[in-house]
Structure formats: structure tokens, C-alpha cells
Amino acid sequence: MKIVITGGAGFIGSNLARTLTERREISQIRVIDNLSTGNKENIADLDVHLFEGDIQDAALLERAFHGVDAVVHLAALPSVPRSVKDPLASHHANATGTLQVLEVARRAGNPHVIAASSSSVYGANRCLPKHEGLATAPMSPYAVTKLATEAYLGAYHHSFGLPVLPFRFFNVYGPGQCADHPYAAVIPKWINATLNGRPLTVYGDGTQTRDFTYVGTVCQVLTDALLRRVVEPRPVNLAFGHRITLLSLISEIEAATGLRAFKEHTARRVGDVTHSQADESRLRALFPRITPAPLQEGLRATVNWLSRADEHATPAPAGSRNDAASNQHALF
Ligand code: NAD
């Protein structure tokens, strides 16, 4: 099988590329990435072909999609605060970019297209757990772009017969996730702070809950979807319904690092979703063989990776150094 990963130099994409290079069924991996938030170093040791450029460039996509069996579309500007600061940039990369990927895919003979949407589409809908039948209520431009992503996949399935599978990722964490930039996610940020004896900033009282999924588990699901060519035009939550408070997460980080964490509480942020938990029924029905990695195991792997900090001093994404807003509790 020949596979394209858009956003393959990013956190989830590079983990997926690594997982797929170990599968004998996969003969070729092509990565498309403009390196806006990703990093070439993430895939430097892998046998993959990098098409450096933007997913809005149809000619580049045509070259990369020639003769492929499947496309895993992960390229996006993955940040809520970034989308609030510059909604058009997020729209271009995430919504228009997805449309371009689908257009070129259908002209390239309808490869299987798997794409990343996000739990942020549930937004202001307070029902728990979040099942895919709930009304969506995006609270940020980013969430709108992700809703557009999954809606376009469904539309291309119905209009052009494109075999698609849109996933709603929840909070994904693990090795390869940047810890040291303003949009860093909570787990790498807090592990890094703990390892370096710095305080952990907690917005509010820390009783908010999140449903974290280890990146290795996400890659297992994506690999299974590719190899069994799972097609489902309706969105599928990619999380296992394991809700944990941020305070409990801190205790788990203390256990994984063997270090005491120092909390610094600050005001709750406007627009922060209080609780998040996936209903995993549709995921379990489609992927009955996948068992998620326990949080403790995933945290240990992440701590090991971040402990080798010098090797992983990842530069901040382009244009982000002066942005004050932090993504850390956000739903991506
Ligand atoms: P990431 O920033 O590490 O990876 C995104 C990659 O896409 C980067 O390598 C970046 O350079 C590339 N990219 C961005 N815009 C591009 C463009 N216009 N053309 C080509 N390449 C472009 O983020 P990630 O955490 O690996 O996220 C991957 C996907 O999963 C994204 O679509 C994101 O919205 C989605 N997602 C992630 C999470 C999470 O918890 N990490 C949660 C929900 C959804």
C-alpha cells in the first residue's frame, strides 16, 4: 500500500509515519508538510518521502497523490487561541486545505481518505459523554474549521463516492508533542515544568475533566483503519471515555516523574469547556481489537521522551513566539 500523510512532520503525523514504516503491508509513505508547526527532524530517520509545501497547492498534491491507496489528512493549524487571533489563517489551512485535499483525491482515483476532526466541535454542548449524534456547537473559529473538515468528508462520500473516515480526536498526548511553545498542550507542558522544578499553571480549580488518548493508541486505530480500509462517512470519536480531572492528572504526573509538582492557580479562562468525555461506542464497534494504552503507561513514555530534553528542544511554531495565549487546557 502507498500512503500519504498530510501534516506528517507534526506530532501525530510523525508518530503515524513511524508506526507505518514498521508494517510490511505499507510499501511507501509520502509526507506533505509546510513545516509551519511541524519539524523535519521528526521524520529525519524514517524511510519516507517529504513533499515540502502547502496542502492548498493543488499541483503539489497531484504529484504526491499519484498512485496512492490512502491519504491520512492531519495537516492543520491545530490551535484554538491561534484561530481566535487569526481566524482566516485557520480557515485557509484547515477548511480550504481540506477541500483541496478532497478535490485532488477524487481526481486521483478516489483513495481512502481518513481525516482529523476534533472534539472541539461539541463546544458549548454540555451533554456527557459526547456521542456523535449530539448537536455540534463550535465555540472557536478552529472548531468551525474542524466541523467543515468532517462535513466535507461526508459530502465527498455522498457526492463522489469517496471512501472516507473522519475522526474526532480528543486530547492526544505522547512523545513528539512540543512542550516549549505558547500553544503547547497541557501534558507535555506540565511534565516539562515538573521535570524542571517550575510551577504548573492551572486555570481555575483544576476540577475540569479531559479524555486523554495516548498517541500510540491513536496510531494503532489509524493503522487498523488503513489496513482494513474502514469507511464511515459519519464522524467517529477517537477517545475511550476515560475522563480525568486536571488535579488527578497532576498526581499521575507526579507518579510518572517521581517528583513533586507545584501548582499555581489562576483565573478560569472565558470559553474553556469544563468537561470532556467521549462516548466510545462507535469507535469500539468499528475497531473492536484496539485496547487503549493506560494513562500511567502513556505518561511514563512521555516523561522518558521529555527527559531527553536537549534532543527534543523543538522550535516554536512559526509566528507563535510572541503570542501570549496558551492552549494548554484547550480542546483541540
Ligand atoms: P501538529 O501541529 O503537530 O501537526 C500538524 C502538521 O500539519 C504540522 O507538521 C504542520 O507543519 C502541518 N501543516 C499545517 N498547516 C499546513 C498546510 N497548510 N500545509 C501543509 N502542512 C501543514 O498537530 P497535531 O497535534 O499532530 O495534530 C494533527 C491533527 O490532529 C490536526 O488536524 C489537529 O487539528 C488534529 N487534532 C489534534 C489533537 C491533539 O490533541 N493533538 C486533538 C484534536 C484534533
Q: How far is CA 269 from CA 39, 124, 153, in A?
A: 30, 14, 32
Give pLDDT, residue 81: 87
The closest-lying atom of ligand 1 relative to the alpha carbon of residue 13 is 26
CA 129 to chain centre: 20
116-120 average pLDDT score = 97
Residue having the nearest C-alpha atom to atom 2 of ligand 1: 37
Is 70 within the bounds of a domain? yes
Q: Quick one: the chain helix, strand, coil %, rounded to 5?
A: 40, 15, 45
CATH code at 158?
A: 3.40.50.720
Q: How far is CA 118 from CA 22, 85, 305, 309, in A?
A: 27, 19, 25, 29
Give pLDDT, residue 152: 98
Is 326 within the bounds of a domain? no
Q: How far is CA 140 from CA 26, 62, 87, 271, 304, in A?
A: 37, 31, 9, 9, 34
Taking 80 as the threshold, does the pLDDT of residue 202 lie above it? yes
Angle, helices 215-227 vs 295-307, to 10°: value is: 110
Q: Band of the pLDDT at 309, cuts 50, 70, 90?
A: low
Compute, in degrees rounded to 10, the torsion defined by CA atoms 200, 205, 209, 213.
0
The closest-lying atom of ligand 1 relative to the alpha carbon of residue 73 is 32
Give pLDDT, residue 316: 37
Give pLDDT, residue 14: 98
Taking 60 as the threshold, does the pLDDT of residue 329 lie above it? no
**pLDDT tens sequence across 240-251:** 999 999 999 999
Q: Band of the pLDDT at 268, cuts 50, 70, 90?
A: confident
Is 191 within the bounds of a domain? no
Residue 262 alpha carbon to ligand 1 centre in Å: 30
Best probe residue, ligand 1, of 33, 71, 72 (max atoms within 8 Å of C-beta): 33
**pTM for the structure as a whole:** 0.94
Best probe residue, ligand 1, of 37, 147, 149 (max atoms within 8 Å of C-beta): 37
Taking 70 as the threshold, does the pLDDT of residue 321 lie above it? no
What is the enclosing helix (H) or strand (E) of 97?
helix 97-107
Q: How many domains does the chain have?
A: 1
Give pLDDT, residue 325: 35
Give strand pairing partners of 52.
33
In angstroms, the CA 258 to CA 27 distance is: 42
In angstroms, the CA 293 to CA 302 distance is: 12
Taking 60 as the threshold, does the pLDDT of residue 312 lie above it? no
Residue 7 alpha carbon to ligand 1 centre in Å: 6
CA 289 to chain centre: 22
Residue 197's Cβ-count burial label (10 Å; 0-12, 13-18, 19+) is exposed
Residue 332 alpha carbon to ligand 1 centre in Å: 10
Domain that holds residue 108: 2-171+212-238
In angstroms, the CA 6 to CA 12 distance is: 11
Residue 277 alpha carbon to ligand 1 centre in Å: 21
72-81 average pLDDT score = 94
220-239 average pLDDT score = 98
104 close to 43: Cβ distance less than 8 angstroms: no
- Burial string for 30-54 (b: 16+ CB within 10 Å, else e) reads bbbbbbbbbbeebbeebebebbebb
The amino acid that residue 118 corresponds to is S
Q: Who's near 232: CB < 8 A, 6+ residues apart?
A: 164, 165, 282, 286
In angstroms, the CA 171 to CA 332 distance is: 7
* Proportion of the chain above pLDDT 90, given as a percent: 88
Best probe residue, ligand 1, of 5, 12, 219, 221 (max atoms within 8 Å of C-beta): 12
Taking 90 as the threshold, does the pLDDT of residue 212 lie above it? yes
**pLDDT tens sequence across 23-75:** 999 999 999 999 999 999 999 999 999 999 999 999 999 999 999 999 999 99
Residue 313 alpha carbon to ligand 1 centre in Å: 19
Give pLDDT, residue 111: 98
Taking 50 as the threshold, does the pLDDT of residue 220 lie above it? yes
54 close to 34: Cβ distance less than 8 angstroms: yes
* Residue ranges around ligand 1 (CB below 6 Å): 7, 9-13, 32-38, 54-56, 74-78, 93, 97, 116, 118, 169, 171-172, 332
Is 282 within the bounds of a domain? no
Is 298 within the bounds of a domain? no
Cell numbers for 24, please give them.
510490511
Is 131 within the bounds of a domain? yes
202-211 average pLDDT score = 96
Residue 206 alpha carbon to ligand 1 centre in Å: 27
Q: How far is CA 294 from CA 9, 40, 301, in A?
A: 26, 29, 11
Is 157 within the bounds of a domain? yes
Is 24 within the bounds of a domain? yes
In angstroms, the CA 118 to CA 278 distance is: 11
Best probe residue, ligand 1, of 6, 74, 314 (max atoms within 8 Å of C-beta): 74
